[in-house]
């Protein structure tokens, strides 16, 4: 038993040494070829657009979660009864609140 655990720790130690060696090697190689670089300026075309990622992410999550949970619910709805119907109404109300918030923030406006 003891020999087997020592062997397992030895293998783990060997993997750690190999990983550290590869990291040091990569660090050494990158240091030799490093040249001072200037900060790239962003293209002028990108400066014109305001991307509201959080609003779009909220819209995606609202619609995506609705479909992910509604399909299995619809398959077993007849077996679950009225409590499942009420649970789904609460779920849809929460998602609708998120969609209404995104709408108020201008996330559904085509620009």
Q: Tell me the residue range of the domain where 90 lies.
A: 47-104
How much is the pLDDT for 41?
A: 66
User: Which pLDDT tens digit goes with each residue over 49-97?
Assistant: 556 677 777 778 878 877 888 888 888 888 888 888 888 889 889 888 8
* Residue 42 resides in a domain: no
Q: Look at residue 43 in the predicted model and tell me its pLDDT.
A: 63
pTM of the entire predicted model: 0.43
Of 60, 49, 48, 51, the closest CA to residue 102 belongs to: 60
Answer yes or no: do 57 and 93 share one domain: yes
Q: Residue 110 falls within a domain, yes or no?
A: no
Residue 111 belongs to a domain: no
- Tell me how many domains the chain contains: 2
Do the domain assignments include residue 26? yes
């Amino acid at each position: 038993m003891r020999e087997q655990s020592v062997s397992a720790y030895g293998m783990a130690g060997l993997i750690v040494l190999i990983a550290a060696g590869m990291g040091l090697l990569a660090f050494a190689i990158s240091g030799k070829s490093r040249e001072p670089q200037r900060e790239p300026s962003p293209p002028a075309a990108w400066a014109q657009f305001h991307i509201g990622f959080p609003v779009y992410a909220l819209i995606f999550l609202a619609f995506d979660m609705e479909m992910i949970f509604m399909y299995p619910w619809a398959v077993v709805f007849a077996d679950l009864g009225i409590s499942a119907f009420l649970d789904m109404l609460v779920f849809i109300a929460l998602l609708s609140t998120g969609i209404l918030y995104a709408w108020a923030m201008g996330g559904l406006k085509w620009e």
